[in-house]
Structure 1
Amino acid sequence: MIEFWLAVGLLLLVGTAFLLIPLLRGRRAQAEEDRTALNVALYQERLAELTAQRDAGTLTAAQFEAGQAEAARELLADTEGAGTGRGHRLGRALPLLIALAVPGLAFGLYWHWGASQELTALQEQPSMDQMTARLEQAVKDNPESAEAWYFLARLYMGEGRAAEAAKAYEQAVRVAGRQPELLGQWAQALYFVKGKQWDQELQALTDEALKLDAGEVTSLGLLGIAAFEDERFADAASYWQRLLEQMPADDPSRASIQVGIDKAREQLQASGQPAPEELVNKSMAVISVSVDLAPELKAKVQPGDAVFIFARAASGPPMPLAVKRLTVADLPAKVELSDKDAMMEQLKLSSFAEVQLVARISRSGVATQGEWVGRGQPIPSSTREPQQLLIDSPEQAQ
């Protein structure tokens, strides 16, 4: 038992030191700033992940809203009470008061809650309405908090309150300055306020955002939507192509963006307006592959045996993204695998950052079963360099 209390005392001492050291070094304000910035960054990353999963169809609307609410709760728990003006009243005395109170509070909580079922009450999370109310109070107490205005705007957008979100974004811009990501999200909120009708105000905001950051994703996506609605399909595809180039290779929403580009190109072709060549070259994946048979296998195969040459995602669904069928008699052969060879509209070469090339000999003619195979290393789906495949291994050995 003595060892237990010694350990508790040591932990309390360490915890108290963490409170006092920043005070003694005079860096309390900087530490709070860094913590807030980290919380903001983590929240934005989580929202981006949830949005990507929703766009990719892996999350339902209800699941997306639940995830968004949970991320906001975590942020609020981390930042609650920060930036409300109390720092000016308590100043440097606050860490000292906390340091003195920690030991007594810890022991008191231990005796009161240590073996009590009421501990679960501490785990209760505020509702969305409560979080909104708290952030509304926070901006009233400290109207110069850009973070509070920003997160209030995000909550309003999540609740479908675009007009209030637009006003909150405007205040965030007033406090934080005309940062490109804020301008893009402000324009997005105004777009819904205006009934999805494009006007000069929205154009000016997105133009300014892209002038400051040519890869600002919200502005690019919004401009693409507006262009598509206005039947300016070449512009829509161009904006979405630029957006696609900004997205991480493993972002699951890349497939959705590519579908939008393809639809814009289809509308161009349907109206007799071919897509600009530079857009076609960027958006369509085309991989040239030379396939041959290892000399030692030539006596073991039949001329009529099927040869399946395909590409599949290096990390993703196992089904082929593009397939060509030949026979052993056709080898050596050179083929092209492209988006035109896609087995499914949603699964194209260009939808994935990296792919693996495979050539399989199947005497039965079944693409998923064979006797001999050749596999390449993962390569970018955008590669233009000719690739080589040599069928040289027994299928069962892979």
Structure 2
Amino acid sequence: MIEFWLCAGLLLLVALAFLLIPVLRGRKAQAEEDRTALNVSLYQERLQELQGQHEAGALNDEQLQHGRDEAARELLADTEGAGASSRFAALGRTIPLLAALLMPVLGFGLYQHWGAIDELEQARTFAAQPKSIEEMTARLEASVQSNPDSAEGWYFLGRAYMAQERASDAAVAFERAVGVAGREPELLGQWAQALYFAGNKQWNEQMQALTDEALKADPEEVTSLGLLGIAAYEEGRFTAAIGFWERLVAVLPEQDPSRQAIQGGIERARERLGVPTEKAQTPAAAGQLTVKVELAAALQDQVQPSDSVFVFARAASGPPMPLAVKRLTVADLPAQVSLSDSDAMMPQLKISGFEQVQLVARISRSGNATAGEWVGRSQPLASSTAELQQLTIDTADGQAQ
């Protein structure tokens, strides 16, 4: 923004120069006018002096007339051209001064009305890669505040809130997205999902209505199918859960990293029903990493069960922002976590998009994913790694490299 205001200031100075140059010339004309008045005064004194010498007999009539003519010629020579410049100054000084005073105020007011300072600032802000989920969320919040009619902005803000387990805020964001873009099936599914987790996984009529509407418009709407399966499983309706999840698996692409997790849910539901199953032995989906996170024994007395634990993958060589993240608590440790492309916060930043990634687990009592008390980091590994990784939180955060 400094560059913008410097350019605007320079242009303003150029415009003021065109207005103030005549005023400066007017000052010169004023000086000429003052000099003319002095010459007239001297001329009058010279006439009085000649008249006195004539009366004293020092000058005769001819000499008196000659002296008067000489003084008149000197006065005319000194005042030649002054009359035109003084008339110009009298007529052209007030308007340039008023214009010079009003131009900055008028220009600022017109730019405030028709300008795009907010859009310019927003473009400059989004040009830089965000360093954390919190920074990206702050940018999205600023974006929807300046442009509340952006359905895309509200959608991605809702996704960011969900990644930070702020389901209530996400529900509000998805509702606003629906209000702007209309009742699109995908938005309805995301809204219902946010409401479900915001309500402590208690199903209600509003969620049912939203998912019904979404699936009526699009029978393959994946968020609604997945959510209905989760809700049915949590309520012990395992047959219904299997039905929803099988519909979901049928519409997902073969390379989708979430297929394996959904298939695992189907197998667990069948086990709960007592149905024999044969788990498919399939390789890990591209862009999916599985890591077991545990806390070093020496730190057991230095943490609290409610402390947040952020487990994320980031590019070994690339943007510092996490590619995928999950949030737990110390009470959940040890825990096995899957990180995949489906957890990506931004479409262009996925685990499968980088050859090597690093796994990080951080304990943060304040709930800040970018800074905390204790951390564990893995060595860089291939993003296609299928083996279970081990990650131990054992180092003070400020000492970790």
- TM-score (norm. length: structure 2): 0.37
